Amino acid sequence: MCQPSPHLWNTCYRLLITFLFCVASSHAQGTTYVVLWFDTEDYIDPISDDAALRIANDLTAEGVRGTFKVVGEKARILERRGRRDVIEALGRHCIGYHSNWHSIQPVPAVSVQHLGFLEGADEFERRERSGFEDVGRIFGVTPVCYGQPGSSWAPQSNLALRRMGIHVYLDEGTQLGYNDQPVWYGGLLYVFNLGPYQLRADLDDDTPLPETFKQFDAAVSHFAGSSGGLISTVYHPTEFVHTEFWDAVNFANGTVRERKEWVLPKRRSEKDAEHCFGILKAYVEHAKSLHNVQFVTAADLIHIYATPIPPVVDTATLARHFKESISFLSMPSGDLSAADILLELLHVPARYVDGPTATGITTYEETTIPAFVFDSMLQDVRSFIETNHRLPNEVFVGSKTLSLVDFAATLAQHLLAPGPVLVVHGKVGFERCFSTDAQSAFKWPIHPEGFAPEELLQLARLQGWTLKPARLR
Ligand SMILES: [Zn+2]
């Protein structure tokens, strides 16, 4: 029998590999989106104004639009210093909001730490709306996104931000996250906690680029093999011209210091600063050189992600899911948050509603609920949601209560097996998306020492009813 030569085998093998690669590539079309953002916050040293100007102009020259999240006081200072050049250069990019005072106490998480969901939202809005409006007035646009100073995150901000007209939360943090990609949470598109897809070239490393490019390319090839994904890259203009943060040298550990006592952070040499601008330029040019990589701004994000309107899914599927776990559900046709599912099971038209404001408790001890009582419970919950645009903490069974979680599981059970209403105790699944370590989640040099607001994580988990993955269109 004739044996093929090793050379022929080799050729066939290579052809096969090439063929398989081509087949794989023809299906590998996911786009990598890169949101490049700059927390523009140092209102102490004027050299930071020039850094922001330089970055904005460099990006414009590259044909790339970034997102500049501007602090209220920074915008006012730019106006006072007559820096129309900086305002105009940044204005060619996307403008976001980065708190009114950034590091002046009480910072956002400190100010709402002991407040509930609703009063915390009111307080956040009271402190932040004027800064948001100043940035809007000075830049002539409505800021598109918000992100907290440092790790000073608070779940109450979501409601306030929606009232202010902001729909995108763009930042880094570990308080919540799912699958290293954006989620819908609190009625906002959350770009947060992207893990390995939070990338940047280190400005202080002598040879940061090869390693960063390797990570960047790995992310791009991962997203190419799937339906695409997002890389989030953050810098601060101040980093390019300083070796230390403007706020750390003035306001560490909750320090309060009068304006005339503020000191300037240590500056980089001109050569060093030039090196830093070069690193950003090289990073941007590398991303531009890759196939299927696209820079997006915070404003673009709203368009590249599908709307959060939940898909139509049959009630039995939703009820079975809830019996297993009170959590979001991903279907081929779209995603539903636990709140979306509950509304569907209640036959309430789909819309965004906030989660409960406190942990409800179950005091009802019977194993069944009379049908006429359950009917009035359903009506009561629908009325609560229509009136308050949020989910109730608990539902009355006569004078006793079912926690929202137990009510949801009981409703799911009843829809699957009509007849006597059996009380079922639900299991919450979405809490795995939230940090349980307040100490590390809120670690930031500006927070008072030992700041660990468990209450905020508790409120965050309650709003987990609203969480679901965000899906690219
Ligand atoms: Zn900041």
pLDDT tens by residue, 19-53: 443 344 444 589 999 999 999 999 999 999 999 99
Q: What does the pLDDT read at residue 299?
A: 98
Q: Is residue 279 part of a domain?
A: yes
Instruction: Give the CATH number for residue 271.
Output: 3.20.20.370
Mean pLDDT of 51-65: 98
Same-domain check for residues 215 and 263: yes
Does residue 388 lie in a domain region?
yes
Question: How many angstroms does the Cα of residue 149 sit away from the middle of ligand 1?
Answer: 4
Distance 235 CA to ligand 1 centre (A): 9
Residue 1 confidence (pLDDT): 35
**136 C-alpha vs ligand 1 centroid, how far in Å?**
18
Whether pLDDT at 12 is above 70? no
Question: How many angstroms does the Cα of residue 84 sit away from the middle of ligand 1?
Answer: 22
Is there a single domain that holds both residue 194 and residue 284? yes
pLDDT surpasses 60 at 18: no
292 shares a domain with 153:
yes
Is 452 inside a domain boundary?
no
- The answer as to whether 459 is a domain residue is no
User: 178 lies in which domain range?
Assistant: 32-304
300: pLDDT strictly greater than 80: yes
The rounded Å distance from CA 120 to ligand 1 centre is: 21
Q: Does 12 fall in a domain? A: no
Residue type, 402: L
- Let me know whether 225 and 126 are in one domain: yes
CA of residue 178 to ligand 1 center, whole Å: 23
Check whether residue 77 and residue 213 sit in a common domain.
yes
CA of 40 to the centre of ligand 1 (A): 7
pLDDT tens-digit series, residues 426-439:
999 999 999 999 99
Does residue 172 sit in the same domain as residue 210?
A: yes
Q: What pLDDT is attached to residue 28? A: 55
CA–centroid distance, 148 to ligand 1, in Å, is: 7
CA 41 – ligand 1 centroid, Å: 6
Mean pLDDT of the chain: 94
Residues 114 and 166 in one domain: yes
Q: Ligand 1 mean position to 198 CA, how many Å?
A: 16
Instruction: State whether 335 and 383 are in the same domain.
Output: yes
Q: Are 120 and 52 in the same domain?
A: yes
Per-residue confidence (pLDDT) for residue 332, from 0 to 100:
94
For residue 415, pLDDT beyond 60: yes
- Are residues 467 and 185 in contact, defined by beta-carbon separation less than 8 angstroms? yes
Cα–ligand 1 centroid distance for 227 (angstroms)? 32
- pLDDT score for 208: 77
Q: pLDDT (tens digit, 9 = 90+) per residue, 109-154?
A: 999 999 999 999 999 999 999 999 999 999 999 999 999 999 999 9
Query: Structurally, how many domains does the chain consist of?
Result: 2
pLDDT per position as a tens digit, 240-272: 999 999 999 999 999 999 999 999 999 999 999
Residue 446 lies in a domain: no
Distance 150 CA to ligand 1 centre (A): 5
Co-location of 176 and 120 in the same domain: yes
Residue 472 lies in a domain: no
Residue with tokens 């609560």, as numbered in its chain: 384
Residue 411: pLDDT over 80: yes
Is residue 193, in this structure, part of any structural domain at all? yes
CA of 30 relative to ligand 1 center, distance in Å: 31
> What confidence tens digit (pLDDT) does each residue in 87-101 have?
999 999 999 999 999
Proportion of the chain above pLDDT 90, given as a percent: 93
What's the predicted TM-score (pTM) here? 0.93
* 2: pLDDT strictly greater than 90: no
**Domain check: are 229 and 124 in the same one?**
yes
Chain centre to alpha carbon of residue 43: 25
- Are 297 and 322 found together in one domain? no
Domain boundary among the residues 380, 395, 424 is at 424
